[in-house]
Amino acid sequence: MSDDGGDASPPADRDHAEWLDALADGEGFALVCPAGHGSLPPRRVCPECGSPDLSREPLAEAGTVETYSVVHVPSPRFADDAPYATAVVDFGPTRLTGIVRDGDETDGPPAVDVGDAVAVEVGERATDDERLVVFRPAGGE
């Protein structure tokens, strides 16, 4: 991975890298059409209704866990991260999928349940330092 202050993400995924940058800066956003459908970049049109009129709307401060799983058998890219808790979290205009961490993974992933409140940030995979979406239990730490 490049580390010379440059962009560590593959150039082919420019829009995703920019979205992660915004998320890391606390300015995570969704693209929202006039009908209120939320989606994530890159988008030219709303995937639900086809509207080209998309605006950036901030994600909710705290999200709500809608479902989760503790993954014990990872793909190679997450070999050193397992076991880890993956979750789908509602952030208002859109849901996000990521990994739940509480900052101390020595005893495995934190306990997670549907309905838990979490914040979102950008973390790194233990396996290869690639960036990924990380959820933090709200009020934890």
Partner 1 sequence: MTDVRVAGVGLTPFGSHPERTGRDLFAEAALRAFEDAAVDRSDVEELNYGNFMGALAEHQGHQAPLMAEAAGVRCPATRYESACASAGVAVREAVRTVAAGDADVVLAGGMERMTNLPTDEVTEGLAIAADDLFEVRAGVTFPGAYALMANAYFDAYGGTREDLAHVASKNHANAVSNEYAQYREEVSVAEALDAPPVAEPLHLYDACPITDGASALVLVSEEYAAEHDLDASVAVTGTGQGTDRMALGDREHLARTPAADDAADAAYADAGVGASDVDVAEVHDCFTIAEVLALESLGLFEPGEGIAAAREGTTTADGDLPVNLSGGLKAKGHPVGATGGSQIAELTRLLRGDHPNSGHVPDAEVGVAHNAGGTVASAVVHVLEVAE
Beta carbon of residue 78, minimum distance to partner 1 (angstroms, whole number): 6
Three-state SS at 80: coil
Q: Would you count residue 36 as binding partner 1 (CB under 8 A)?
A: no
Residue 49 interacts with, from partner 1, Zn ion, none (CB under 5-8 Å by kind): Zn ion
Contact stretch for partner 1 (CB under 8 A) within 25-33, 53-61, 97-105: 97-105
Say how many residues touch Zn ion, by CB under 5 A.
Answer: 7
Task: Tell me which of 13, 14, 27, 49 binds Zn ion, using CB under 5 A.
Answer: 49
- DSSP string across 67-123: EEEEESS--GGGTTT-SEEEEEEE-SSSEEEEEE--S--TTSSPP--TT-EEEEEEE
Judge whether 32 and 38 are in contact, CB under 8 Å. yes
Q: Would you count residue 35 as binding Zn ion (CB under 5 A)?
A: yes
Task: Tell me which of 30, 37, 85, 131 binds Zn ion, using CB under 5 A.
Answer: 37
**CA distances (Å), 28 to each of 37, 69, 75, 81, 104, in order?**
16, 24, 27, 24, 24
CA distance 7 to 46: 28
Beta carbon of residue 75, minimum distance to partner 1 (angstroms, whole number): 5
Beta carbon of residue 41, minimum distance to partner 1 (angstroms, whole number): 9
Binding interface with partner 1 (CB under 8 A): 13, 16, 39-40, 47, 66-79, 81, 84, 86-88, 94-99, 114, 130, 132-133
Binding interface with Zn ion (CB under 5 A): 33, 35, 37, 46, 48-49, 51
